A and B are shown apart, each in its own frame.
Chain A
């Protein structure tokens, strides 16, 4: 029997032990034990002899599979075939890889006999930049002010929306224009965006490149209908569990509608009032149609996660946000609000609010609350904010972790060192590093070399004009002594190594980094030796370069552009190496989690205490400005020709805040700390919807002046 059998409710047991051919639609709010049912159902099917390799667990995002993994990796789980865990993107990619020879020609790829290249977000952005940059010089997008990278990513986002919502990508501008209610002259930017999207798609087809949107479209239009692929899916996956179905886009729901009747069993799990990933196309409305494809519909209502007090507070905010919503949820009278807020008189400024938060966290931990039971949430977690918090908590010895590292890959000292030395080792790129950059690289590369010595050394040995380094023994003896012979010797080793490299034909940049790291920088005496962080950063950088090479190497070669030079320039432009690529999923067991609120929701875990930072900020509900795309207008439900108005924007904001607040409180067991400062992170005064709603809730409960 499942290990937690004695803690399960009869309702849970009846689904877990339902007949092996049951198709069940299970819904309920967060914290009502639905995922526990999903996990136990899989274990029960395994125990009943269903081969794991005939089961598919479909999740919208990898973080949501964590409880399933934990169970599947447990030694108490039955031996047998392994359960497949995939997102829709993962499934599409796997099918494209497997059945590529069958569909590459009919899907319109120009070189059907050559293998496909899957683009990462980074390499897709690069290709987009490559195509769009010349158009910008011709006046495209002239009338809007937007960072280039955001421009590229929004065009890619439009393509993804078309794919996951299920409309032809050629209709993007028509949809966006028809909902435009601003100045008529501005609507032409959508034509520009359409032109770029079309160009990108054509380019991908010509070069066998598949970004996320094309993977989904090829899967939906060519693979799912192809008999060999269809049979493969039906034969291999006879049982399906899909958790958080509301976070998927319509194309996944279409697939499930077609698949469910042919499956032996299915369990679809819907988190009520969620649908947080609307910006990626999540569509709770199309999801709801799946209910009719299941034989049994069950609703859970008992909450195991949140206390009545916490729920009461959340319901009060919810009512205050949407008073016209008569379906509830409703506040429970006479239950106190378990909240604390920063004292307004002493937290006028943002840093004061942070101090208060840190102080409260320290007090909780002193009281015996495990750090892992505390989360600090904000609407948007800037690098500066993350740094300030981490540093303050670090000083008190309180462990923290975050959803991503505090610096981007390109800002890491190890990355900068590697890139500087790469520029030096490839004089034909014509990108000689500055003296400042080189001195900085020497400090990182040579253990024990300080700033003063590094600058002195660089000034003497480096001639930027020809990009060459001169030998250490050509330095005056007294200066050699100042730098020290030990450090000079290491410098000399590095110089000779670089010199020897320059004499040979250049290698691929990623291989150059492998070699520079292994043969020099990580050797005893050098700066990366036994420095695991530097190893991790270097591995990330190499991975980024390698994927870049695999995605665009051939085209660059055809144009006679050295790949390494292009990579360095793209890093400078912020197109690539802007993020880490992998390994940041490692979760530290018992540490305070710092994250944007939606990231926390997508981890689907509950904690004892939550800190909501800067509740006056509009970021809690306002969409980030996306002038070239629109998650609502591009959804399946927006009527063509209906303009998107300010009122729509307000309703959407309020609705998303409503969902967010309920999502958070349902994942909180004991109390919420509200961080409030009169002036926000940027120093402006602000009083957004969340603050107003909390204020109203407190007043109506007579709990606060």
Chain B
């Protein structure tokens, strides 16, 4: 077996989900990203519902991508005829006025685009579900959410995703804006929920927020860099352990928590498969 790794590899690329893991539980970050421990316990119960939930999430993202690439709506819809939930999601998406083609006529949509930028001694990367650059220079980040619940805006604002995505667009988006970096105030992030199509969560960005995010992310990364070789602290919020595969390793319980109690964006929390299988693989897959 490969020898254990004590330090974060210099080629490590940060993402919103790895940083969220760190914020949620330093031990989880250490186990998952530094030591790269596979620990295949059930993440949420029932396991099959969780699997379906993740698969549908992936498939929906794929369908949205197909839509932006010009695959006709009816062809896409044909793929999900037998699946009531996916059909509903697709109906909500395809029926949403906001996504009609004519609304995007003078705009540049970039589906599933990945951006990366240096941060400290590392890089940070994000894969955007959809970036839309409007003629007046406004940049909108769309993120599709397939969770059953629509979390409160307050909760969303504090997620690492809401901070990393706009921050990185400022840092790495110049090529999408004719060589000029976007100004924070040009950026807005919109979470679109497949089951709540009319309840968009809009989060505008600002220079003040950018400065705060820059400082915050730099601090997080320098904290991570200075993590010692010993066991990192376990989260104090033991509710997180119910949905964490390492719970047996940390003596934090036996059974996984119920899927319906999982946090709003469970899909972003993901497990090993999802970590390896979706957000992160696009540019490193073979």
Of B47, B65, B176, B251, the residue contacting A514 (CB under 8 A) is B47
Within 8 A of A (CB), among B77-130: 78-79, 81-82, 113-123, 125
Name the distance in Å between A104's Cβ and chain B's nearest Cβ.
Answer: 9
> A86 to B48, Cβ gap below 8 A?
no
Interface residues on A, range: 35 or more
Interface residues on B, range: 35 or more
> B248 to A532, Cβ gap below 8 A?
no
Name the distance in Å between A500's Cβ and chain B's nearest Cβ.
Answer: 12
In the A-B complex, the 4 residue pairs with the smallest Cβ-Cβ separation, listed nearest first, are A518-B41, A79-B117, A539-B38, A75-B118
Chain B residues, CB < 8 A from A695: none
Contact with B along A511-528 (1 / 0, CB 8 A): 101110111001110000
Name the distance in Å between A72's Cβ and chain B's nearest Cβ.
Answer: 8
Of B36, B59, B116, B255, the residue contacting A80 (CB under 8 A) is B116
The reply to whether the CB of B200 lies closer than 8 angstroms to some CB of chain A is: no
A514 touching B41 in the complex, CB below 8 Å, given contacts A49-B179, A536-B1: yes
Chain A residues, CB < 8 A from B273: 543
Bound CA span A89–B42, Å: 32
> A80 to B48, Cβ gap below 8 A?
no
> A588 to B3, Cβ gap below 8 A?
yes
> A84 to B48, Cβ gap below 8 A?
no
Contact with B along A83-109 (1 / 0, CB 8 A): 111110110001001111110000000
> B39 to A522, Cβ gap below 8 A?
yes
A75 touching B121 in the complex, CB below 8 Å, given contacts A51-B176, A517-B41, A523-B254: yes
> A79 to B79, Cβ gap below 8 A?
no
Of A70, A90, A529, the residue contacting B248 (CB under 8 A) is A529
> A518 to B245, Cβ gap below 8 A?
yes
Chain B residues, CB < 8 A from A98: 62, 65-66, 69, 71
The reply to whether the CB of A258 lies closer than 8 angstroms to some CB of chain B is: no
A518 touching B175 in the complex, CB below 8 Å, given contacts A113-B78, A114-B79, A539-B272: no
Bound CA span A599–B41, Å: 34
A511 touching B40 in the complex, CB below 8 Å, given contacts A82-B283, A98-B69: no
> A519 to B254, Cβ gap below 8 A?
yes
Name the distance in Å between A148's Cβ and chain B's nearest Cβ.
Answer: 29
- Nearest B-chain residue to A550, judged by Cβ: B55
Chain B residues, CB < 8 A from A514: 40-42, 47
The reply to whether the CB of B226 lies closer than 8 angstroms to some CB of chain A is: no
Chain A residues, CB < 8 A from B245: 518
Bound CA span A90–B4, Å: 30
Chain B residues, CB < 8 A from A114: 79, 82
The reply to whether the CB of B2 lies closer than 8 angstroms to some CB of chain A is: yes
A81 touching B65 in the complex, CB below 8 Å, given contacts A101-B79, A399-B3: no
Name the distance in Å between B31's Cβ and chain A's nearest Cβ.
Answer: 9
| Residue with the greatest number of chain B CB neighbours at <10 A, chosen from A70, A77, A519, A524 | A519
Chain A residues, CB < 8 A from B4: 532
Contact with A along B179-205 (1 / 0, CB 8 A): 100000000000000000000000000
> B118 to A586, Cβ gap below 8 A?
no
Of A79, A232, A588, the residue contacting B118 (CB under 8 A) is A79
Name the distance in Å between B34's Cβ and chain A's nearest Cβ.
Answer: 13
> A538 to B40, Cβ gap below 8 A?
yes
The reply to whether the CB of A76 lies closer than 8 angstroms to some CB of chain B is: yes
Contact with A along B1-37 (1 / 0, CB 8 A): 1111000000111000000000000000000000111
The reply to whether the CB of B172 lies closer than 8 angstroms to some CB of chain A is: yes
Contact with A along B249-286 (1 / 0, CB 8 A): 10100111000000000000000110010000011111
> A586 to B116, Cβ gap below 8 A?
no
Chain B residues, CB < 8 A from A90: 285-286
A-B contact pairs, 14 of them (CB 8 A): A51-B176, A73-B123, A75-B120, A80-B172, A80-B175, A82-B283, A89-B286, A101-B75, A112-B78, A517-B41, A522-B248, A523-B254, A535-B40, A536-B1
The reply to whether the CB of A74 lies closer than 8 angstroms to some CB of chain B is: yes
The reply to whether the CB of A205 lies closer than 8 angstroms to some CB of chain B is: no
Chain B residues, CB < 8 A from A89: 286
> B119 to A75, Cβ gap below 8 A?
yes
Chain B residues, CB < 8 A from A53: 113-114
The reply to whether the CB of A304 lies closer than 8 angstroms to some CB of chain B is: no
| Residue with the greatest number of chain A CB neighbours at <10 A, chosen from B4, B76, B118, B284 | B284
Residues of B within 8 A of A (CB): 1-4, 11-13, 35-42, 47-48, 51, 59, 62, 65-66, 69-72, 75-76, 78-79, 81-82, 113-123, 125, 171-172, 174-176, 179, 245, 247-249, 251, 254-256, 272-273, 276, 282-286
A80 touching B76 in the complex, CB below 8 Å, given contacts A75-B121, A517-B40, A518-B245: no
The reply to whether the CB of A542 lies closer than 8 angstroms to some CB of chain B is: yes
Name the distance in Å between B151's Cβ and chain A's nearest Cβ.
Answer: 27
- Nearest A-chain residue to B110, judged by Cβ: A53
Bound CA span A51–B70, Å: 22
> B283 to A101, Cβ gap below 8 A?
no
Bound CA span A60–B69, Å: 27
Bound CA span A518–B172, Å: 41
Bound CA span A79–B38, Å: 31
A532 touching B286 in the complex, CB below 8 Å, given contacts A113-B81, A519-B255: no
A518 touching B123 in the complex, CB below 8 Å, given contacts A79-B116, A101-B75: no
Chain A residues, CB < 8 A from B174: 79-80
The reply to whether the CB of A574 lies closer than 8 angstroms to some CB of chain B is: no
Name the distance in Å between A249's Cβ and chain B's nearest Cβ.
Answer: 16
Chain B residues, CB < 8 A from A115: 59, 79
Bound CA span A97–B282, Å: 13
The reply to whether the CB of A69 lies closer than 8 angstroms to some CB of chain B is: yes
Of A76, A99, A538, the residue contacting B66 (CB under 8 A) is A99
> B11 to A588, Cβ gap below 8 A?
no
A87 touching B123 in the complex, CB below 8 Å, given contacts A82-B114, A533-B1: no
The reply to whether the CB of A335 lies closer than 8 angstroms to some CB of chain B is: no
Chain B residues, CB < 8 A from A75: 118-123
Chain A residues, CB < 8 A from B176: 51, 81
> B42 to A511, Cβ gap below 8 A?
yes
Name the distance in Å between B153's Cβ and chain A's nearest Cβ.
Answer: 29
> A86 to B286, Cβ gap below 8 A?
yes
Of B47, B71, B116, B249, the residue contacting A102 (CB under 8 A) is B71
> A51 to B175, Cβ gap below 8 A?
yes
> B285 to A86, Cβ gap below 8 A?
yes
Bound CA span A539–B246, Å: 13
Bound CA span A442–B208, Å: 60
Of A62, A530, A536, the residue contacting B249 (CB under 8 A) is A530
Bound CA span A143–B12, Å: 54
Of B13, B79, B115, the residue contacting A113 (CB under 8 A) is B79
Bound CA span A670–B13, Å: 35
Name the distance in Å between B116's Cβ and chain A's nearest Cβ.
Answer: 5
Bound CA span A247–B146, Å: 42
> B47 to A515, Cβ gap below 8 A?
yes
The reply to whether the CB of A476 lies closer than 8 angstroms to some CB of chain B is: no
Contact with B along A343-378 (1 / 0, CB 8 A): 000000000000000000000000000000000000
The reply to whether the CB of A228 lies closer than 8 angstroms to some CB of chain B is: yes
Knowing that A85-B286, A113-B79 touch, tell me 14 more A-B residue pairs with CB under 8 angstroms. Answer: A73-B11, A75-B123, A79-B117, A85-B284, A99-B69, A101-B76, A115-B79, A401-B2, A518-B255, A519-B255, A529-B248, A582-B276, A583-B38, A588-B3
